[in-house]
Amino acid sequence: MAKGVWIVTEQRYGTFRKISFELASTARKLADQLGEEVVAILLGSGIEGIAGELGKYGVDKVYVADNAVYEPYTTDAHATTVASLVKEHDPSILLLGASAQGKDLSARLVGKLATGMATDCVDLKIVEGKLLASRPMYAGKCFGEVMVSSYPQMASLRPNVFPVVENAKNASITKVDTPIDPGQLKTKVLDVQKDTSGKVDLTEANIIVSGGRGMKGPENYVILEELADILGATVGASRAAVDAGWRPQKDQVGQTGKVVSPNLYVACGISGAIQHLAGMGSSKYIVAINKDPDAPIFARADYGIVDDLFKVVPELTKEVKKLLE
Amino acid sequence: MNIVACVKQVPDTETLIKVKPDRSGIDETGIKWVMNPYDEFGVEEALRLKEKLSGEVIIVSVGPARALETIRTALAMGAERGIHIVDPALDSADPFTIASALAAAIKNIPYDIIFCGQRAIDDDCGQVGAILAELLGIPQVTVITKVDVDGNTIKVTRPIEGAQLIIESSLPCVVTAQKGLNEPRYASLPGIMKAKKKPVDVKDAASLGVSIDVKAKITKTLPPPARPPGKIICGEDPAEKARELARLLREEAKVI
């Protein structure tokens, strides 16, 4: 019988990404309800030394495959190894992050394991011994409860939503062989062009300062950049601003852009089109600054200021600076 | 070059989604149906490659009778023919089942590249492209913003958190399209007229030999959780409002 709550961790350059701890903490909670073990898979090159860190977040056992073939990530190498471990051990639940890498890998695993998966979940619980997932659909315009009837029951977790909880275990570490011939891999990463802005990606940001049509032009985003710098935030944009060519595509928040869930979302000059609200509606706190009192964004905002954003934002930057000093 | 582009018909992004009172799904009354925007990027890229390298673009879609409109839209943009997989049993199918149906239809036609949208904006699963690649035994490159074909290989750009990857893949492969890949064309009037005469094969699950076994089932559809009513911050001038906002964010919300 399928047993064990498994996670596929994610690391870059030998450092765990936060989603790995979110996965471990969530798996621990589910495993305790089921009376099962938490087992983590760690793939990479020169990463054996970090495996023990997972014990801090409730992992009982780590399977480590340490081989140059796993760096940089390719779907082929990772999916083959994870699928072979999963087929050998038959876990009841398999969790991954709904990060760029996790989305690519998890979907391939659904194919390899011929199972079902709830994507980008925001809540997971055990009901009558089965995994019940809650996930936004239509970019958050509604939510679906999903039950997977095959094993492993797979789910991917939206980054930044599940809490990281320390729960020290003495994780046992097992090295596993790599069943891959590098010559057989059909994809190859030729280049990694790092974003040198030093900003956290929108999907992982704790705070987002976002601007829409009300910014009036690309040159005015400097006031949002200044506020973002003080807050340690990432700057986002509405579809209107991206389509106008004011901001790059990667900054777009909304149904056809990024779906985000920061602790704080500051919407400046954004009216709140349905497709935008869908993309940021799960933010913990929403602030709207807009001179139009009837803008739909105010219906979603926790705090609203009806005024000229070109006057409010610089003042807000000053005030926040004072508070943080 | 033989190119397949998979398309799905979805509610337009401006649609207000209403959940049925019995929570069994969404109320489809009055919905404006469109081609999934990410699939549209895939269709456009398929057409551009065909125009450059010659060949044929085949559109494949799983969906109810109305989805034929979306196939016709892609044909009007310039694709040669379509395959419409329509079966009521597939209406509430999960990604694995949908991908199985697509794979069954595609495995019998020649293909060098298969385009899918990186996700559909209705169920947001983002799984079908990768499962399809696995079922056909070919590689996948997902969430792609640039495609260059060079002989038997393809070079693509894939944005990830904080970086862009340049990936090379052998062909055939599945490419899932992300916004930024291109600017899809509008169908021209002659294109629309021609599309009416282009062939569309209709298949059902049985004729494709696909068994329908939904493994990931949506047991309930719910409206989003209600947000408590917000506060409009009043004050004499922008400076006073900004000061109060900063205070609330610090002391009440505790987010800064």
The tens digit of pLDDT for each residue in B205-250 reads 999 999 999 999 999 999 998 888 899 999 999 999 999 999 999 9
Cβ separation of A108 and B16 shorter than 8 Å? no
Same domain, A300 and A258: yes
Question: CB-CB: which of A148, A189, A319 is closest to B215?
Answer: A148
A277 found inside a domain: yes
Q: Among A152, A102, A144, A148, which Cα is nearest to B126's?
A: A102
pLDDT at A5: 98
Residues B117 and B85: beta-carbon distance below 8 Å: no
Per-residue pLDDT at A129 exceeds 90? yes
For residues A247 and A313, membership in a common domain is answered with yes
Which residues in chain A have Cβ-Cβ distances shorter than 8 Å to B14? Answer: 273-275
> What residues 118-137 of chain A have any CB closer than 8 A to a CB of chain B?
118-120, 132, 135-137
A117 and A218 belong to one structural domain: no
Contact B221 A137 (CB under 8 A): yes
Q: Would the CB atoms of A142 and B221 count as touching at under 8 Å? A: yes
The pairing of strands A153-157 and A117-121 is: parallel
Using a CB-CB distance cutoff of 8 angstroms, which residues of chain B are in contact with residue A107? 95, 126-131, 142
- Cα separation, A6 vs A155, whole angstroms: 11
A72 prior amide bond cis, ω within 30: yes
Q: Each residue of B155-203: pLDDT tens digit?
A: 999 999 999 999 999 999 999 999 999 999 999 999 999 999 999 999 9
Give the Cα separation of B25 and A11 in Å (integer).
38
pLDDT over 90 (residue A197): no
pLDDT in tens, A246-299: 999 999 999 989 999 899 999 999 999 999 998 999 899 999 999 999 999 999
**Mean pLDDT, chain B, whole residue set:** 96
CA distance A301 to chain B (A): 6
Residue A51 to chain B, least CA–CA distance (Å): 23
Q: Is residue A132 part of a domain?
A: yes
CA distance A119 to chain B (A): 5
| Residue range B130-155: mean pLDDT, rounded | 97
B250–chain A nearest CA distance, Å: 8
Parent domain of A131: 5-184
Selection from B174, B67, B160, B161 nearest residue B122 by Cα: B67
Residue A108 in any domain: the answer is yes
The CATH number linked to A97 is 3.40.50.620
CA B68 to chain A, closest CA, distance in angstroms equals: 22
Domains and CATH numbers, chain B: 2-208 (3.40.50.620), 228-256 (no CATH)
Q: Are residues A209 and A159 in the same domain?
A: no
Q: What is the pLDDT of residue A198?
A: 82
The residues in A 247-276 lying below 8 A from B, measured between CB atoms, are 249-250, 252, 254-257, 259, 263-264, 273-275
Confidence band, pLDDT 50/70/90 cuts, at residue A127:
very high
Q: Answer yes or no: is A190 within a domain.
A: no
User: What is the distance between the alpha carbons of residues A282 and A290, in angstroms, rounded to a whole number?
Assistant: 20
Preceding amide of B190 cis, omega within 30: no
| Residue of A120, A142, A308 lying closest to B223 (CB–CB) | A142
Residues A34 and A175 in one domain: yes
Stretch 166-225 of chain A: residues touching chain B, C-beta under 8 Å = 186-195, 200-201, 203-204, 207
Say yes or no: A219 and A157 in one domain. Answer: no
- Cα separation of A200 and B161, whole Å? 8
Radius of gyration of chain A (CA): 21
What confidence score (pLDDT) does residue A227 get? Answer: 98
Query: What does the pLDDT average to over A301-318?
Result: 98
Which of A138, A204, A306 comes nearest B232 by C-beta? A306
Question: From the list B131, B245, B250, which residue is nearest A110 (CB)?
Answer: B131
Structure ipTM: 0.96
Looking at the structure, tell me whether residues A42 and A121 fall in a common domain: yes
Q: Are strands A264-268 and A207-211 parallel, antiparallel or unpaired?
A: parallel
Enumerate residues 6+ apart whose C-beta is below 8 A from B119. Answer: B38, B125, B126, B176
In the predicted structure, residue A178 carries a pLDDT above the cut 90: no
Write the residue in A259, A263, A324 that is nearest to B255 by C-beta.
A263
Range of lowest pLDDT (A99-103, B63-67, B159-163)? B159-163
Selected for mutation to probe chain A from B124, B131, B182 (highest A CB count within 10 Å) is B124
CA-CA distances (angstroms) from residue A37 to A7, A34, A130, A290?
Answer: 11, 9, 15, 50
Judging contacts by C-beta atoms under 8 Å, the chain A residues touching residue B254 are: none
A134 and A209 fall within a common domain: no
A254 and A108 inside one domain: no
Nearest by CB to A104, from B130, B180, B215: name it: B130
- Are the Cβ atoms of B217 and A148 closer than 8 angstroms? yes
Give the number of domains in chain A: 2
Q: Tell whether A163 and A304 lie within a shared domain.
A: no
Q: What integer best gives the mean pLDDT of chain A?
A: 96
Residue A195 has what pLDDT? 87
pLDDT tens per residue across span A16-55: 999 999 999 999 999 999 999 999 999 999 999 999 999 9
pLDDT class for B44, splitting at 50, 70, 90?
Answer: very high
Contact indicator for B152, B93 with CB cutoff of 8 Å? no
Q: How close, in Å, is residue A170 to chain B by CA atoms?
A: 31
**Contact criterion met (CB < 8 Å) for B165 and A104:** no
Instruction: Please judge whether A111 and B131 are an interchain contact, meaning their C-beta atoms are less than 8 angstroms apart.
Output: yes
| Same domain, yes or no: A44 and A163 | yes
**In this structure, what CATH number is given to the domain that contains residue A212?**
3.40.50.1220
Q: Are A208 and A262 in contact (CB under 8 A)?
A: yes
Give pLDDT, residue A76: 96
A57-78 pLDDT, tens digit per residue, is 999 999 999 999 999 999 999 9
The answer to whether position A120 is within a domain reads yes
Can you list the positions of beta strands (E) in A228-317? Answer: 234-237, 264-268, 285-290, 303-306
Answer whether residue A114 shows pLDDT above 90.
Answer: yes
Same domain? For A178 and A281 the reply is no
Provide the pLDDT for residue B121.
96
Closest B-chain CA to A119: B125
Is A111 in Cβ contact with B99 (below 8 Å)? yes
Q: How confident is the model at residue B52 (pLDDT cuts 50, 70, 90)?
A: very high
Q: Is A14 inside any structural domain?
A: yes
- Which residue among A134, A156, A184 closes a domain? A184
**Do B246 and A114 count as a contact with CB atoms less than 8 A apart?**
no
Residue A194 falls inside a structural domain: no
Contact between chains at B132 and A284 (C-beta distance less than 8 A): no
Closest CA to A201 of A151, A155, A173, A160: A160
Task: Name the residue among B133, B165, B227 with its Cβ closest to that of A189.
Answer: B165
Q: Is A107 on the interface with B (CB under 8 A)?
A: yes
- For the segment B92-104, the average pLDDT, to the nearest whole number, is 97
